[in-house]
Amino acid sequence: MAMENWKPKTELGKRVMEGSVASIDMIFSSGKKIKESEIVDRLLPNMQSEVILIGGSPGKGGGIKRTPTRRTARMHRSGRRFRISAMVVIGNGDGYIGVGKAQALEHRDAIEKATHEAKLNVIPVKRGCGSWECACGTSHSIPAEARGKSGSVTVVLKPAPRGLGLAAADEGKKVLQLAGIRDIWSKSYGNTRARINYVLAILSAFKKLNAMKVHAAGEKEQEEENESETGKNGTKEAAEAGTKEASEAE
Ligand SMILES: [Zn+2]
């Protein structure tokens, strides 16, 4: 692995390299921003990735054929300019998840850049069993209901009893699986075919959960400070995702 050749550029990177920062949770509790993907490679070595199918073209028999990347064209004086967009979700299947979006001229570069971005955006996922039917106390679901929004899409995640599985659309299942959640109820509203916003809305719900104080009984209390921060990011992401561009499949 390239890990051997890593020469940390940030103070945080150096501390991870020398071992004085030995867990990703130490970084999250310090509130420091991760600026080198190698930090995540080192502290969360079991990360897996999935490409979110954000592209699509009309299929032969009607319907839409989903594709991993989306090609966008911009008009330019010298003609049309194409760029490839990709969205990647990474997770260790055990409580950590990250999503990244990127554009490049080539399909493979877009996915690579999105994977890099996803590592820099890693967050913890608060898991638990908030299902009153189950109440087993293990971390197969989430501790409380949470709602997230991105653009026109709102997603509500609800704790589910053991054995229910992931009640979500396909791209949502990828995210939930990588987060290490096994049972959940979900509902989504708005233009849920907008997959970028659908995935970002799930992430926004995870961030809300992280900002909640969840008591043993499953009661919840919101921490106002974190709440408004999530809102700000949400708006920014929504604005990006909502940029009008002509899109075709790659
Ligand atoms: Zn349970």
Least confident of 70-74, 156-160, 167-171, 233-237: 233-237
Q: Ligand 1 center to residue 245 CA distance, Å?
A: 44
Distance 26 CA to ligand 1 centre (A): 28
CA of 177 to the centre of ligand 1 (A): 17
Dist. CA 184 → ligand 1 center (Å) = 10
CB 178 within 8 A of CB 90: yes
Distance from the CA of 137 to the center of ligand 1, in angstroms? 6
Would the pLDDT of 88 be above 60?
yes
Residue 85's pLDDT is 95
For residue 62, the model assigns a pLDDT of 73
CA of 138 to the centre of ligand 1 (A): 6
Centre of ligand 1 from the C-alpha of residue 128, in Å: 8
CA of 135 to the centre of ligand 1 (A): 5
Between 244 and 216, the higher pLDDT residue: 216
Beta bridge partners of 104: 84
The crossing angle, in degrees rounded to 10, of helices 224-241 and 195-211 is 170
pLDDT in tens, 145-187: 999 999 999 999 999 999 999 999 999 999 999 999 999 999 9
Considering the chain, what is the average pLDDT of its residues? 86
What is the percentage of the chain residues whose pLDDT exceeds 70? 84
pLDDT of 194 higher than 80: yes
Q: Is pLDDT above 50 for 247?
A: no
Measured in angstroms, how far is the CA atom of residue 201 from the centroid of ligand 1?
A: 24
Burial of residue 11 (CB within 10 Å: 0-12, 13-18, 19+) is exposed
Helix axes 195-211, 170-179, angle to 10 degrees: 30
Q: Which of 1-15, 18-32, 103-117, 229-243 has the lowest mean pLDDT?
A: 229-243
Query: Are 132 and 153 spatial neighbours (Cβ–Cβ below 8 Å)?
Result: no
**Which CATH architecture fits 125-241?**
2-Layer Sandwich (3.30)
Res 237 pLDDT > 80: no
Average pLDDT of the segment spanning 200-226: 72
Rounding to the nearest 10 degrees, give the CA dihedral for residues 109, 37, 114, 205.
Answer: 170
Distance, CA of 81 to CA of 73 (rounded, Å): 5
Could you tell me the distance, in angstroms and rounded to a whole number, from the CA of residue 151 to the centre of ligand 1?
A: 32
Query: What is the whole-number distance in angstroms between the Cα of residue 132 and the centre of ligand 1?
Result: 8
What is the whole-number distance in angstroms between the Cα of residue 216 and the centre of ligand 1?
Answer: 13
Residue 240 Cα to ligand 1 middle (Å): 37
Domain ranges in the chain are: 13-43, 48-123, 125-241
- Class level of CATH domain 48-123: alpha beta
**Average pLDDT in the 28-48 region?**
96
Answer whether residue 16 shows pLDDT above 90.
yes
102-116, 195-209, 218-232: lowest mean pLDDT where? 218-232
Cα(16) to centroid of ligand 1, in Å? 35
How far is the centre of ligand 1, averaged over its atoms, from the C-alpha of 58 (Å)? Answer: 42
What is the band of 3 on the pLDDT scale with cuts at 50, 70, 90? low
Tell me the CA–centroid distance for residue 161 and ligand 1, in Å.
5
At position 69, the amino acid (one-letter code) is T
